[in-house]
Chains A and B, each alone.
Chain A
Amino acid sequence: MNPYIALTEEFNRGDLRAIVSSGQAVVLLRLSVTSKDGDWVVKETAEALTHVLAVLQRHGAHYRFGAPLDVRWMAGGWSAHLEFQADSLRLRTDFVTRPPRLSPADLAALWEQQRSVAVPCVDPLRLVALKQTGRERDYAVIGELARLIADPEKQSLVSRSADDLVELAAKHGAVVRGLLTRRPLLTHALSGRRDDLAAALDAERREMMAADVRRLDRYASASAVWAAAWPALQRDIIGLPLKAQHELIVARALDVLPFHVAPESRR
């Protein structure tokens, strides 16, 4: 058994609470093994988060710096990070309930879609949105994720390949023409100008990376006081059971970590 599959089963015992995301989802989609950390989208309910904490307590997990795994912060897009040792493996477990760049409707549809799946896993189209990070290598993964999307309209909206987009435009011209307002660079696919398309894809990637950097900057700014308080708090929680760690972290975070971060101002 793989440790992340086993954890996912434990998280979902009795109800669907956690969907495998990011790097381990890329493995489940059989594209690549590139991440040693586990990420889950967790249901934004107190029951789900309490259950996940109870599972992790049984494994002897401890909190890393991050937000408390508590609905009040998770609803603001914060992430919670825990870790434990399982034999020779350091297992990191990262959680969000509001993954970036997914609308509430899209997130609700994801939960519905994964309701009866053996190993719940973020699907390729939504994983594309989650992978639009400030890290360049994620765009290589997006390139292959897009090829898993059968629908030509959806694939045309997220593909990173100039070759694929030119081919999509040749086969599905009307569909691609209908997407120009949503993705203007498709005009180069329709006209077959591959070099212009490649340059536009590169510029688009840089803008997506920059947008994610700005997003993380806002969270860094909002958590600056929390970060300054963390070293002392970490000393206080060492050796405590996870439930006690959690209660102490919540109590301290209430004073200094805002539930929500201001959205990006218009530029």
Chain B
Amino acid sequence: MTGRRDEFLSEEDLDLKNLSWDELLAWWNLWLEQAQASNDLDAHLYSHGVFRVDPCWKGPAPARERFL
């Protein structure tokens, strides 16, 4: 081992592997509940597939390269 290791995700993220299946589902569901808070902000956006934005959206176009 080199002793060095790049980190891509947080320890909190990576701790998912230590959860039981029921604990994983509980954490996943809680996360989904909390994530609803941003629904108004991303109502017009697409995070997957080949589309970027709802054509009914009147605001600024989303950036073509995205960081989040």
Q: Interface of A with B (CB < 8 Å)?
A: 1-3, 5, 22-23, 27, 30-37, 39, 64-67, 77-81, 88-90, 94-96, 134-137, 140-144, 160-164, 166-167, 209-210, 213, 215-217, 219-220, 223, 227-228, 230-231, 234
Contact = CB atoms under 8 A, between A and B. Distances in A.
A161 B65 contact: no
A1 B25 contact: yes
B64 A216 contact: yes
Give the size category of B's interface with A: 35 or more
Contacts of A215: 50
A23 B47 contact: yes
Interface in B12-52: 13-14, 16-17, 19, 24-25, 27-29, 31-33, 35-36, 39, 46-52
A2 B4 CA distance: 37
A211 B54 CA distance: 22
Scoring B9, B24, B27 by chain A CB atoms within 10 A of each residue's CB, the highest score goes to B9
A65 B67 contact: no
Contacts of A161: 5-6, 8
Contact of B9 (A22, A95, A140, A164): A140
A136 B66 contact: yes
B55 A227 contact: yes
Q: Which 6 A-B pairs have the closest CB atoms?
A: A79-B49, A143-B8, A219-B50, A32-B13, A227-B55, A30-B16
10 contacts: A32-B14, A33-B13, A94-B46, A164-B6, A213-B64, A216-B64, A220-B51, A227-B55, A230-B54, A234-B56
Contacts of B25: 1-2, 5
A208 to B, nearest CB: 11
Main secondary structure of the interface of B (DSSP, over half): loop
Nearest to B15: A30
A215 B27 CA distance: 35
Contacts of B16: 27, 30-33
B55 A65 contact: yes
Contacts of B36: 36, 88-90
Given A89-B36, A90-B36, A65 B51 contact: yes
Contacts of B9: 31-32, 140-141, 143-144
A77 B50 CA distance: 8
A71 B36 CA distance: 32
A218 B31 CA distance: 34
A137 B19 contact: no
B27 to A, nearest CB: 7
Contacts of B19: 30
Contact of B46 (A81, A136, A162, A167): A81
B16 to A, nearest CB: 4
Contacts of B39: 90
Given A33-B31, A144-B9, A216-B64, A166 B48 contact: no
Scoring A2, A23, A143 by chain B CB atoms within 10 A of each residue's CB, the highest score goes to A2
Nearest to B33: A88
Contacts of A219: 50-51
A3 B32 contact: yes
Given A66-B46, A79-B51, A96-B49, 10 more contacts: A3-B32, A30-B16, A30-B19, A36-B35, A64-B54, A65-B54, A162-B6, A223-B50, A223-B51, A231-B55
